[in-house]
Amino acid sequence: MTSNDHKNPEELQIESNYRFIEELAQKKKKLEVSRERYRSLINNLPCIVIRFDDSRLVEFVSSAWSDILGGEYDSILGLSLPALVHPDDKGVLEKAIVGSRTAEVRVKNSAGQFHWMRWSSSRVSEGGYQGLLVDLMETRELEELLRQSQKMEAIGRLSGGVAHNFNNLLTVILTSVERLQRFLPEDSQSSANEAERIKVAANEAASVTRQLLAFSRQQALRSVNCDLVDLVEEGVWLLGAVVATPEVSFEYIQDSKEELPVVLDKAQFHQVLLNLAINAKDSLEGHGEIVIKTKKVEVGISEAADLGLDIGDYASVSVVDNGTGIDSLNLEKIFEPFFTTKDVDEGNGFGLATCYGIIKQSGGSIRVESELGKGSDFEILLPLVSGVEKAIDPEEEQTEKPKIEGAKILIVEDEPAILEISCEALREENHHVDGALTINEAIGFIDSGEVEYDLLVPDVVMPDGGGRKLLNYLDSKRIAPKVIVVSGYDTDFLGDDLSCTSFIQKPFSIVELIEEVSSVLASD
């Protein structure tokens, strides 16, 4: 006989009810624990989870809403889901909900601005819908940065190609004018003036091609280890003289007292600072202030990705003004060549493009922050190096070299006019000079064995392989004459595999050619 046999039906029912209540309590507790785990999981997702009913009223939203869009996440409970997106995206959202498809919509944040997000949703068994909102802003910003970077690279390649072709033409003009000047009668002043005007115009055109090459990072830089602080201090007096007026104040602030060792072409960097300072002065419209700042900064992961730099410490120099500022639509274009907000007669759109190219070629980056009516801040970032080395002044190295005559020289150039003028000029210096329009023709001269050349002067970029093909041929034959490489591009662009004695960048003058040939022939 069990204990229940002594209990009446009423007592048994009471016990049964107690057991039922305990089971319910346990199930409720488990349910609460499960709900808390679910809520914790949902709130830790890097996206927004949202529940809404058939009327599109919000019943639940995860705390990620506050992290991504700001404000109190529970403040949207009970609101209509379509009211939270851009008016133009309401139809897109509804179609995505009905069709269980993904869509990109703009969701309003706490500041009233719209934020691009990817939407997906599905019907749930207990009724209503559950949706996911994934942040697209960072992705879109990265895509825009990549697009802009690719655009700048494409413009750079185009600019470099244009500059190279123009350099060939300008070399013909400059060398022809120089030779013409040598044969003009002494009493022909008008002809001499005309020739000089042509020469001046050609040199100005050459300056434009140099700016294009600077933007495309294809110009020759004479970089040395130096202290950025010292370099800026050297240029401050000139900047002050150029931009300072009674109405325009100019100040230099050194935030860091330590050395900031970098590798730079000093002259080119001073040109960058001058361009930025002049632009700053122009933005002041007659009155305001310009401040130059130097400091040490640390570039983190996100900044490094945006700027195309490595993570680490950098030297920073900023040119700050409180001028008119730059419209946001123009900010992404300001470093492009030919783009300018100035009047046609006030600028050619090369200044900032040149700055961009020089800093990029130096391994750094340049960025700008600007707001209309408040001013602009152009910041240059350059990688720090281990220390400052004493630069050798090229003028200190110069020694008187004896004039060499009777050398055997082979010039290889696919531009007939440049080839003819170069050959004639060096023959007048009492050298034996042969000229070849193609690399194959040059190889034919060498293979004939009639002349053992002391010096080869090939253009690097030619239709049939250029100077690199010729140098490889010389290596295969174990022939080692002195070589002066010529190109409209610079050596950084051409690569490190050019085993040459010297380099001449187009456009060059006859004088430059003769001097370089004499220097190389006289060298050990």
Give the residue, 329 or 395, on which the prediction is more confident: 329
Compare 343 and 228 and report the one with higher pLDDT: 228
Residue 214 predicted with pLDDT over 60? no
Helix, strand, coil percent content, the chain, rounded in steps of 5: 50, 20, 30
pTM of the complete model beyond 0.75: no
Mean pLDDT for 55-60 is: 90
3-state secondary structure of 31: helix
Q: Which of 126-135, 241-250, 316-325, 495-504 has the highest mean pLDDT?
A: 316-325
pLDDT value at position 393? 46
Structure confidence at residue 224 as a pLDDT band (50, 70, 90): confident
- Cβ atoms of 406 and 430 within 8 Å: the answer is yes
Cβ count within 10 A of residue 496 = 7
Give percent above pLDDT 70 in the chain: 73
Phi, psi torsion values for 100, nearest 5 degrees: 50, 45
Mean pLDDT to the nearest integer, 402-418: 83
d(CA 107, CA 354): 40
Specify the 3-state DSSP secondary structure of 27: helix
Mean pLDDT, the chain, whole residue set: 77
Of the given ranges (38-42, 180-184, 234-238, 432-436), which has the lowest mean pLDDT? 38-42
- Residue 168, SS3? helix
Instruction: Return d(Cα 427, Cα 422) in angstroms, integer.
Output: 9
Confidence (pLDDT) at 411: 92
CA 393 to chain centroid, in Å, comes to 30
The predicted pLDDT at position 495 comes to: 55
**What average pLDDT score do residues 254-274 get?**
81
Establish whether the linkage from the previous residue to 402 is cis, with ω within 30° of 0: no
Q: Which residues of 450-461 are buried (b: 16+ CB within 10 A; e: fewer)?
A: eeebbbbbbbbb
Which whole number is the average pLDDT over 35-60?
76
What is the 8-class DSSP label of residue 320? E
- Mean pLDDT throughout 459-484? 82
Q: With contact defined as beta carbons under 8 Å apart, do 283 and 321 qualify?
A: yes
Assess whether pLDDT exceeds 90 at residue 377.
Answer: yes
Residue 208 has pLDDT above 50, yes or no: yes
Do the Cβ atoms of 363 and 385 come closer than 8 Å?
no
Residue 344: per-residue pLDDT: 43
Chain Cα centroid distance, residue 441: 41
- Whether residue 347 is predicted with pLDDT greater than 50 in this model: the reply is no
Residue 136 vs residue 324, higher pLDDT: 324
CA distances from 239 to 281, 357, 461, 484 (A): 10, 21, 39, 38
What does the H/E/C string look like for 109-153? Answer: CCCCCEEEEEEEEEECCCCCEEEEEEECHHHHHHHHHHHHHHHHH
pLDDT digits (tens, 9 = 90+) for 282-319: 888 888 899 999 999 888 877 777 777 888 889 999 99
Q: Which of 161, 160, 159, 163 is nearest to 171 (CA)?
A: 163
Judge whether residue 165 has pLDDT over 60: yes
Q: Does residue 432 carry a pLDDT above 90? A: yes
- Average pLDDT value for residue range 350-362: 77
